[in-house]
Amino acid sequence: MRKAMLALVAGLLATGSMTACTDDNTNSGTSSSNGGGAAKGGGSESGKIGVILPDEKSSQRWTQEDPKYLKQAFDSAGIPVDIQNAKGDKARFGAIADQMINGGVKVLMIVNLDSPTGKAVLDKAKAAKIKTVDYDRLTLNGGADYYVSFDNRQVGVLQGTGLVRCLRGVKTPIVAEVNGSPTDNNATLFKEGYDSVLQPLYDEGTYIKGPDQPVDDWDNAEGGKIFEQMWQQQPKISGVLAANDGLGGAVIDVLRKGKKNGQIPVTGQDATVPGLQNILIGDQCMTVYKAIRPEAEAAARLAIDLYKGRAPTAASVQQSITKIKDPESGAYVPFVSLSPVAVTKDNIMKTVIHDNFVTVKQLCTGNYAKLCAENDIK
């Protein structure tokens, strides 16, 4: 009788423990979704590819293009994927990663919020023998198995060259630089690129170097405040190297308040609809088009190779694979590199519209319809 009672109690305790575990580990994330919440484990990720995107504010790509193209690529290959967005929250980023790692994903692809946060996640994945991919941003000292991105230094070269073209005819222009987040290695590479164009002009006195400041977390509102202070400090600014379209738009908003928009060239990057519309109206000098679909597809092909236990090749990824040196660790990371393209009013039709990255319907709304017609965008 005593043995029977003990067995019954043990069974009830085991059942209670299982129930508690299930309640605590409810997965609020969604497979193949871009905005699912972080969960605490539970094994629902087993056999999947996990993708963590960084935020919803720095660029529209993280909520629109990347999740769409990545999902399409994995779905067409019949590979299960869980795509989630950290919404700019480092704790959330780590929690999503823990859920995916503990759940048994076979490959983890991340766009880090900063290198320390990314490295912590990559270290956990490696300890669990999960293959890792840095997507778009290199995690410094992270040791990812592969890195897929654009030639980000070349992005900056295109921005610097574009600003020089737009300042042609301006005598000894004063140039302000509104840089990206100091924790994003891409922003460092962009700046290396555009400074390689601008610094020689500063050195020879052809240009005057004006205020130069980064914007934490690519925060557009903060970027606008920073530029407003720059302009107060140096009211004769002649051109602005803004690191992306969001920061460029923030600068333009400040210039509009001072009724100087269109008179002071501003650069951008990402070929967003607002950025392209600013180009059409004459308030933005240029942007840089990084064809997200080929980047996402290359990353997906590479992740699928890793998922299936194959070594990725240039043929399987359909892009060249080189190596890039991690400036912090000194290690070389296998790198799938894609080429960026400068976009001005003259080639919008041949680039972003031709690739269906942006549609005519999206771009040519309201007052922009007339500008599109004038520029033969149809």
Distance in angstroms (rounded) separating the CA atoms of residues 277 and 271: 10
Residue 59's pLDDT band, with cuts at 50, 70 and 90, is confident
Task: Sort 66 into a burial class: Cβ within 10 Å, 0-12 / 13-18 / 19+.
Answer: buried
Backbone angles phi and psi of 331, in degrees to 5? -80, 155
Assess contact for 54 and 96: CB atoms under 8 A: no
Give the pLDDT score at 368. 96
pLDDT of residue 233: 96
Q: Does 343 score more than 70 pLDDT? A: yes
**Is the model's pLDDT at 8 over the cut of 90?**
no
Domains 29-144+292-338 and 152-287 share a fold: yes
Query: Taking 70 as the threshold, does the pLDDT of residue 377 lie above it?
Result: yes
Q: Would the pLDDT of 2 be above 70?
A: no
Read off the pLDDT band of 40 (50, 70, 90).
very low
Give residue 320's pLDDT band: very low, low, confident or very high (50, 70, 90): very high
Contacts of 305 (CB under 8 A, 6+ apart): 311, 312, 313, 316, 317
DSSP one-letter code for 206: S
Q: Does residue 25 surpass a pLDDT of 80?
A: no
- Distance, CA of 248 to CA of 8 (rounded, Å): 69
Q: How confident is the model at residue 16 (pLDDT cuts 50, 70, 90)?
A: very low
SS3 call for 334:
strand
What is the pLDDT confidence band of residue 63, given thresholds at 50, 70 and 90?
very high
Tokens of 109: 């692809």
Three-state secondary structure call for residue 110: strand
Phi-psi region of 67 (alpha: psi -120 to 50; beta: other; left: phi over 0): alpha
Q: Which sequence spans correspond to the domains of the chain? A: 29-144+292-338, 152-287
In contact, 242 and 215? CB cutoff 8 Å: no
Average pLDDT, the chain: 90
Residue 30 has pLDDT above 70, yes or no: no
| Across 40-50, average pLDDT | 64
Distance CA 154, CA 150 (A): 8
Q: What's the rounded Cα separation, in Å, for the pair 69 and 79?
A: 14
pLDDT bracket for residue 45 (50, 70, 90): low
Which architecture, in CATH terms, is 29-144+292-338?
A: 3-Layer(aba) Sandwich (3.40)
Distances (CA, A) of 149 to 117, 123, 185: 19, 21, 12
CATH number of 152-287: 3.40.50.2300
Residue 5 has pLDDT above 90, yes or no: no
How many C-beta neighbours within 10 Å does residue 228 have?
A: 17
User: Residue 58 — pLDDT band, cuts 50, 70, 90?
Assistant: confident
Q: Checking phi first, is residue 102 left (phi over 0); if not, alpha (psi -120 to 50) or beta? A: alpha
The pLDDT tens digits for 205-253 are 999 999 999 999 999 999 999 999 999 999 999 999 999 999 999 999 9
Q: Which two tokens stand for residue 354?
A: 């031709």
Q: 57 with 86: CB under 8 angstroms?
A: no
The DSSP element (H or E) to which 62 belongs, if any, is none
- Write the pLDDT tens digit of every residue in 245-293: 999 999 999 999 999 999 999 999 999 999 999 999 999 999 999 999 9
pLDDT computed for residue 33 by the predictor: 40
